[in-house]
């Protein structure tokens, strides 16, 4: 039986940042922090964990408890594309942007993606 857990709901942000993850404890904190450090702030981050076996789920829980824009989605292991598709299904933003769990974002990256 899959374990689905979504917490911290934001209604209708402009942007939904979709971040699929699997066993990324070594880089996930930095990726999350650089998204949270954006100059554009009207977003939610949906972190779709594909049943990681390292400390990735604990990292996601820590950040989602600290920032209501982060929506964790814990899934059974079905692959990267499934994780992305499930995240898109629950996205509330008018626009979606996918980022990798090892991406380091510059402070204006989201503004630049939106051309604002």
Q: What pLDDT, in 10s, does the model give residues 35-51?
A: 999 999 999 999 999 99
9 located within any domain: yes
Q: What pLDDT, in 10s, does the model give residues 84-102?
A: 999 999 999 999 999 999 9
Q: What pLDDT, in 10s, does the model give residues 59-70?
A: 999 999 999 999
Checking if the pLDDT of 76 tops 70, the result is yes
CA–CA distance, 116 with 59 (Å, rounded to integer): 31
CA–CA distance, 80 with 19 (Å, rounded to integer): 10
CB count within 10 Å of CB 2 equals 10
CA–CA distance, 85 with 72 (Å, rounded to integer): 14
Q: Domain of 23: which CATH number?
A: 3.90.550.10
Count of domains for the chain: 1
58 located within any domain: yes
Domain encompassing residue 42: 1-88
CA–CA distance, 43 with 5 (Å, rounded to integer): 20
Q: How many angstroms separate the first and last alpha carbons of the chain?
A: 43
pTM of the predicted model as reported, rounded to 2 decimal places: 0.88
CA–CA distance, 84 with 34 (Å, rounded to integer): 20
High-pLDDT (> 70) share of the chain, %: 91
């Amino acid at each position: 039986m899959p374990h689905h857990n979504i917490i911290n709901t934001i209604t209708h942000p402009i942007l939904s940042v979709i971040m699929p993850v699997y066993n990324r404890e070594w880089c996930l904190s930095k990726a999350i922090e650089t998204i949270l450090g954006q100059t554009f702030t009207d977003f939610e981050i949906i972190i779709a964990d594909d049943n990681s076996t390292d400390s990735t789920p604990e990292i996601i829980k820590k950040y989602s408890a600290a920032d209501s824009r982060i929506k964790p989605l814990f899934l059974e292991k079905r692959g990267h594309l499934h994780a992305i598709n499930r995240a898109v299904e629950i996205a509330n933003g008018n626009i979606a942007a996918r980022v990798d769990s090892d991406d380091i974002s510059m402070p204006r990256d989201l503004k630049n993606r939106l051309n604002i």
